[in-house]
Amino acid sequence: MTVGLFIPCYVNQFYPQAAIATLQLLRKVGVEVVYPSKQTCCGQPMANSGFEHLTQECNDLFLENFSKFDYIVAPSASCVLHVKQHLHSATDPAEADRVRSNVYELVEFLTDVLKVENLRARFPHKVGIHQSCHGLRGLYLAQMSELNALPFSKPVHLLNMVEGLELVTLDRPDECCGFGGTFCVAEEAVSVKMGKDRVTDHTKNGAEYITSVDLSCLMHLEGILHRNKSAIKAVHIAEILNSTL
Amino acid sequence: MEKGMKDHAALAEAFINDEERVDWHDGALWWIRQKRDIASKQIPEWEDLRETASRIKNNVLSNLHDYLLQFEANATLNGIKVHWAADAEEHNAIVYSILKDKDIKQMVKSKSMLTEECHLNEYLIERGVDVINSDLGEYIQQLDNEPPSHIVLPCIHKRKEEIGEIFHEHLGTEKGVSDPTTLTRFARRHLRDVFITRRAALTGVNFAVAETGEYVVCTNEGNADMGAHLSEVQIASMGIEKIIPKKAHLGVFLRLLARSATGQPITIYSSHFKKPREGQEMHLILVDLGRSRQLGRVDFRDSLKCIKCGACMNTCPVYRKSGGLSYHNTIAGPIGAILAPNLDMKKHADLPFASTLCGSCSNVCPVKINIHDQLYQWRQVIVREGYAANTKVLGMKAMAWTLSSPTSYSTLGKAGRWVLNNIPFAVNNKFNPWYKQRDMPDGPKESFDAWYAKNNSQDSEKD
Ligand code: SF4
């Protein structure tokens, strides 16, 4: 099994440490990983802004980069969801179909495909989980509070394997942070208010770190934390799971 | 957006300026959302109920024509006079002609979002008919000359002190009185006089049963019944999508409606109206107002399943932080944002973008409308039909061009990081909406691309 590592554009440019952690973590659990270097972006910012019709070249490029892999894994639920829902090909629809069903967010790949049951990791801190909405309700990484159904959480399942880590309980476990792609600038006032309120929930409940499966949410929350000189740090879940003993 | 009109972002920003109000608005609606969670989780078959309701409504939408005719035939047999209105103008004219016939100059109304959509009050007032909204929240909004900001909780954005002020100004209560019980008592006494003296009463319709020709109106204050029971002319206005096939289906919807709306097991009054009393006239107006057009839009027809419980608004973080009036449409929130562009795409082009697409609305919806998917779909339609701003179109084209080439992307990525590290003020300025209240990420020295090329050259697939 060879995994194609899909590192979304903004992760590549702004959060290389999370990408490195993802790569190392996958290797640590015994997976052969290749990073196709000609990748750019999944096209989500355009599609969510109403310009899905401009994403064909992004789609083609994605297929060119990733068709040969058994699995494609990325440290970003939102981008994975976009690929799963909207990757199309004019010339090879069957291949697009195959790729769509083989693309995984890192946490779901670790729990569902590899069925990882223990990790050698240590992170002795109080951590709050920010549920990315696309991870939660799109990829169903955890049970959402809206449904009348049994609770489960793939991120919690993995974080429970990390030594010393203490999860904090939030007042609103699955509220959106307000990032929302271009929403964060088009609706700046609402977006920031939502982000501030998410941060407050974590602060109030004693988190030292906010983690998430989505760096886009974290980039937004981190921007707010920095601006307000908060001591809380934002860290991608891959970095926690890859932290050494 | 029309020129000069404020869009959702601008109206929301104005609302958010009063942060204390936002916190309390957000908290009040979240509290109701939690009540809804508790109520829904007490019913083991909740998810089955949602599925059943959704399927019943799908059936209704696929056979709307037949159910409407069946309803009309049965209602007529019951003695109800059934009217058909294609749009707001026709609806209002029908109401007016019914009143004129009887020479009625005063009417009491119970809550009906449809008549809000039709701007019935203004229409009648212009023609010398006095209308009073008898639902307390709506009454307050009417006194303050503002539309409702929420379909279930019309004045949820107002503080009790503000309501006290409105009462003082319009009803002559003592200045400074803001105790809810005192104000409610006062309003109730005042409205009792209204009910007793009005000869005509208009209600909305929650459900109309095709099989029996009856309709059901749900309120918590009993104001619909009060009006209807005392009037000699009773009028009901309903959107054509409010039909359900059988009386047996009512149980499904009544269980879902109140729990989703307020967390109550059932609305205090679920009143069935089937035939006029002796000496009373009963009219029912079936209104299209864009419904059949929406039915024809494949991607959006599901929005007609809505039973107007308001749960999607209470759960929507954007709605909670920005207030219902920021949607500049009768129906606000997520469902409003998918209904509004059907009525006027240009005027409401901003609404489908007033969402993070978090998906909470779709999962809270008792009839399983895929609201957030429809918001996404509307965005595509709005752009295709040319209602996106030019700057956005150019920006998106530039983005598509950059991202379609790995070389231009990597060059720009390097440039972006260089800018962040060396001249942050180029991006950290007031023209950058990100920077206004958030810091930009620290630009790392090298991208992952560069790191990987250095550290993993053996697996790297370079060009
Ligand atoms: S869309 Fe669904 S949740 Fe929203 S008001 Fe309608 S029925 Fe209720």
The per-residue pLDDT for range B292-348, each reduced to its tens digit, is 999 999 999 999 999 999 999 999 999 999 999 999 999 999 999 999 999 999 999
Looking at residue B2, its pLDDT comes to 52
The least confident of A53-62, B11-20, B221-230, B389-398 is B389-398
* Domains in chain A: boundaries: 2-113, 126-242
Same domain, B7 and B110: no
The verdict on residue B398 lying in a domain is no
For residues B424 and B368, membership in a common domain is answered with no
- At CA B303, angle to CA B348 and CA A100, rounded to 5? 95
Q: In what order do the strands lie in the sheet with B106-109?
A: B81-85, B281-287, B233-239, B200-203, B106-109, B130-133
In the listed set B388, B419, B449, which residue is the last one of a domain according to the structure? Answer: B388
Query: Is B207 a domain residue?
Result: yes
CATH number at residue B377: 1.10.1060
Residues 353-372 of B with CB under 8 A from A: 353-360, 362-364
pLDDT band at B34; cut points 50, 70, 90: very high
Which residue, of B388, B417, B435, is where some domain finishes? B388
Q: B60, B335, B361: which to mutate for ligand 1, most atoms within 8 A of CB?
A: B335
Q: What whole-number distance in Å separates Cα of residue B272 and Cα of residue B75? A: 13
Residue B89 lies in a domain: yes
Instruction: State which of B306, B329, B338, B372 you would mutate to test the pocket of ligand 1, scoring each by most atoms of that ligand within 8 A of its C-beta.
Output: B306
Judgement on whether residues B304 and B283 belong to the same structural domain of the protein? no
* Residues sharing a CB contact under 8 Å with residue A87, sequence separation 6 or more, in sequence order: A42, A59, A62, A63, A96, A99, A100, A103
Total domain count, chain B: 3
What pLDDT score does B195 carry? 83
Assess if residue B191 is contained within a domain: no
Of B263, B289, B315, the residue that ends a domain is B289
B230 and B356 fall within a common domain: no
Q: Is the entire prediction scored with pTM above 0.90?
A: yes
Supply the residue whose CA is at minimum distance from atom 3 of ligand 1.
B365
| Same-domain check for residues B255 and B205 | yes
Return the pLDDT at B421. 62
**pLDDT value, residue B461:** 44
Token pair of B388 as six digits: 């996106």
Instruction: Name the pLDDT band for B408 (thresholds 50, 70, 90).
Output: low
Q: Is residue B269 part of a domain?
A: yes
Task: Judge: B8–A187 Cβ closer than 8 Å, yes or no.
Answer: yes
Structure tokens at B95: 């109401």
pLDDT tens digits in sequence order for chain A, 245 residues long:
899 999 998 898 889 999 999 999 999 999 999 999 888 788 888 898 898 988 888 888 899 999 989 999 999 999 999 999 999 888 999 999 999 999 999 999 999 999 999 999 999 999 999 999 999 999 999 999 999 999 999 999 999 999 999 999 999 999 999 999 889 989 999 999 999 999 999 999 999 999 999 999 999 999 999 999 999 999 999 999 999 86
Query: Can you tell me the ipTM of this complex?
Result: 0.95
Residue B30 predicted with pLDDT over 60: yes
Task: Kindly state whether residue B33 falls inside one of the protein's structural domains.
Answer: yes
Cβ pair B441:A14 closer than 8 A: yes
Same domain, B118 and B203: yes
Question: DSSP of B167-203, one letter per residue?
Answer: HHHHH-PPTT---HHHHHHHHHHHHHHHHHH-SEEEE
Q: State whether B284 and B305 are in the same domain.
A: no
Would you state the pLDDT for residue B6? 85
Q: What angle do the packed helices B333-343 and B371-384 form, to 10 degrees?
A: 30
> Is B177 inside any structural domain?
no
Specify the CATH number for the domain of residue B100.
3.40.50.10420
Nearest-Å Rg of the Cα atoms of chain A is 17
The answer, yes or no, to whether any atom of ligand 1 lies below 6 A from the CB of B310, is yes
Residue at B51 is within a domain:
no
Bridge partners, B233 (sequence order): B200, B281
How many CB atoms are located within 10 Å of the residue A100 CB?
Answer: 16
When comparing pLDDT for B271 and B423, which is higher?
B271
Same domain, B108 and B9: no
Write out the residue range of the structural domain in which residue B378 sits.
1-42+300-388
Mutate to test the interface with B, among A14, A15, A27, A220 (most CBs of B within 10 A): A14
Do residues B276 and B329 both lie within one domain? no
Are residues B220 and B88 part of one domain? Answer: yes
CA–CA dist B446, B104 (Å, integer):
78
| pLDDT beyond 90 at B282 | yes
Average pLDDT score, chain B: 91
Q: What is the DSSP letter of A18?
A: H
